[in-house]
Amino acid sequence: MVSESSIEMIRSWLNQCEKDHLPCLQSAAWIHKHSKAPTRLLDVRLVKENWVRLIDTPGQAKEYVALSYCWDKEPPILVTTTETYRRMLAGVSCRLLSRSVQDAITVVKKLGIRYLWVDALCIKQNDREDWNFEAQNMGLIYANAYLTIAATSAKCGSEGFLSARSCNELTTGFRASPRATDQGTVHWRSYPDIVCDYDKDVEDSSLLSRGWVKQERLFSRRTVDFCRKRTYLQCRSSACCEGVKLEIERFNGYEFVLSLHLLSMLQEEIW
Ligand SMILES: [Zn+2]
């Protein structure tokens, strides 16, 4: 599960990024001008509870989240192929999808976003032509996503990244004074749970040992890392850890310029 305080934190951080971060706003404007929606997206907002469906998005701009994760190719996990494509368009139960995809759907829904991009479901896995075409667009798919969710704590897709969290959080209510009507909620954490170690939690994770994941992160405008004990957020202007603002400057400037350069190269190849 994901706590309401984590979702609140992600929401407020996204709002701040959209409102105050000039490099992020410049990057978003550049990307919107030069890119389009992925060929397919997963619609997570269906009337039928815990069901999702694949949609084609011919030329339509959509706000979506992209998932960065390790996944298993072994059955019984449902992926999109030429055989399952029509079934995916009609809608499937989330229970048939990998645990990490189910967790990503949970977070996306809680953030109030409707669409999710997952490689195993948005690319026909046994169609070489489809795969080659989508692989060419991969950088733009991550760059154009409103947010990238990284399943950083999960070593494989069946593990999930929310169930693996060992966050010792205790939530209590409070009132300003016995007579006051103002009430609120306090989220308590033990001290070791709020000490951030980005290198250990993220840089040394098995997810980041994959080369393609590093590319996905480089292109992403904003990434939220779900680690075992805490959540990290980073954009082109700043980074923060659940409960602590880190003010990491290393994401500013260099990666932004490099990403734009790579996007320009991709653009020349595609168009
Ligand atoms: Zn930002």
d(CA 237, CA 251): 6
Q: Output the CA 54–ligand 1 centroid distance in Å.
A: 29
Q: How far is the CA of 154 from the centre of ligand 1 (A)?
A: 25
Nearby residues of 139 by Cβ (< 8 Å), 6 or more positions away: 215, 219, 262, 263, 266
Question: Checking DSSP bridges between strand 169-175 and strand 183-189, what pairing results, if any?
Answer: antiparallel
Residue 270 clears pLDDT 50, i.e. is over it: no
Cα 91 to ligand 1 centre (Å): 34
Confidence of residue 230 (pLDDT cuts 50, 70, 90): confident
User: How many Å apart are CA 206 and CA 58, to the nearest integer?
Assistant: 35
- Percentage, residues of the chain above pLDDT 70: 72
Alpha-carbon dihedral 74, 78, 82, 87, rounded to 10 degrees: 160
Cα diameter, the chain: 68
Q: How far is the CA of 215 from the centre of ligand 1 (A)?
A: 19
- pLDDT tens profile 143-158: 889 999 999 888 777 7
- Measured in Å, residue 126 CA sits from the centre of ligand 1 at 37
**To 10 degrees, what angle do helices 4-20 and 99-110 make?**
60
Q: Model's pTM, two decimal places?
A: 0.79
Beta bridge partners of 92: 52
Cα–ligand 1 centroid distance for 219 (angstroms) = 14
pLDDT confidence bin for 259, thresholds 50/70/90? very low
Which residues hold their Cβ within 5 A of ligand 1, which is an ion?
17, 21, 24, 235, 237
Facing residues of 135 across strands? none
- Ligand 1 center–CA 108 separation, angstroms: 19
pLDDT at 74: 61
Cis peptide before 76 (omega within 30 of 0): yes
Highest mean pLDDT among 4-13, 176-185, 243-252: 4-13
Q: What is the 24 CA–ligand 1 centroid distance (Å)?
A: 5
Q: Is the pLDDT of residue 263 over 80?
A: no
Residue type, 43: D
Mean pLDDT of 28-38: 73
Please give the distance, rounded to the nearest whole angstrom, from the Cα atom of residue 53 to the centre of ligand 1: 30
Report CA(241)–ligand 1 centroid distance (Å). Answer: 14
Ligand 1 center to 96 CA (angstroms): 35
Q: Which pLDDT does position 201 carry in this prediction?
A: 81
CA 235 to ligand 1 centroid distance, Å? 5
d(CA 41, CA 54) in angstroms, rounded, equals 6
